[in-house]
């Protein structure tokens, strides 16, 4: 059973920062590619970023390049999404996901999903 537990969402002003966390088991952390997706109200879910199971490769959506950074803490079996220079259009529920595929950027390739955490960017 793969469990993914997100945390760190909240309300932030435009230009601000947030860090999301996705905690999982050691086995999942070392076996699966981990990704972040988001879904805004009335919109389809979209890919944000992914990191390979070894941590050596990453893939970012163009809309977040240069502003968002994914990282991994091996000791805590946790993947982080550091979000800087946030914009109102970043408002969405953010989901952590895991896949056995290598750096998949399509949600359909992910086998496991967290419960989601709300990020709201507003003044």
User: In the prediction, which pLDDT does 103 show?
Assistant: 87
Q: How far apart are the C-alpha atoms of 49 and 47, rounded to whole Å? A: 6
Mean pLDDT across the stretch 55-79? 95
Rounded to 5 degrees, what are φ and ψ at 108?
-65, -20
61 vs 101: which has the higher pLDDT:
61
Q: How far is CA 97 from CA 36, 37, 103, 106, in A?
A: 6, 8, 11, 11
Tally of residues, the chain = 123
Instruction: Calculate what percentage of the chain has a pLDDT beyond 70.
Output: 100
pLDDT number for residue 30: 87
pLDDT for 73-90, tens place per residue? Answer: 999 999 999 999 999 999
What backbone phi and psi angles, to 5 degrees, belong to 40? -90, 160
Q: Is the pLDDT of residue 54 over 90?
A: no
If 0-12 CB within 10 Å is exposed, 13-18 middle and 19+ buried, where does residue 7 land?
A: middle
Tens-digit pLDDT profile for residues 34-50: 999 999 999 999 999 99
Does 102 score more than 90 pLDDT? no
Q: What's the mean pLDDT in 79-106?
A: 96
The confidence score (pLDDT) of residue 29 equals 84
| pLDDT at residue 55 in the model | 87
């Amino acid at each position: 059973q793969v469990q993914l537990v997100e945390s760190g969402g909240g309300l932030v002003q435009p230009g601000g920062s947030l860090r999301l966390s996705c905690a999982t088991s050691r086995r999942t952390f070392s076996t699966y590619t981990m990704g972040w997706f988001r879904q805004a109200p009335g919109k389809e879910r979209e890919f944000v970023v992914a990191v390979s199971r070894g941590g050596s490769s990453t893939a970012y959506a163009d809309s977040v390049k240069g502003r968002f950074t994914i990282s991994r803490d091996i000791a805590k079996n946790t993947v982080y999404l550091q979000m800087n220079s946030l914009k109102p259009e970043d408002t969405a529920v953010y989901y952590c996901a895991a896949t056995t595929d290598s750096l998949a950027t399509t949600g359909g390739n992910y086998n496991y999903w967290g419960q989601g955490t709300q990020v709201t960017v507003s003044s």
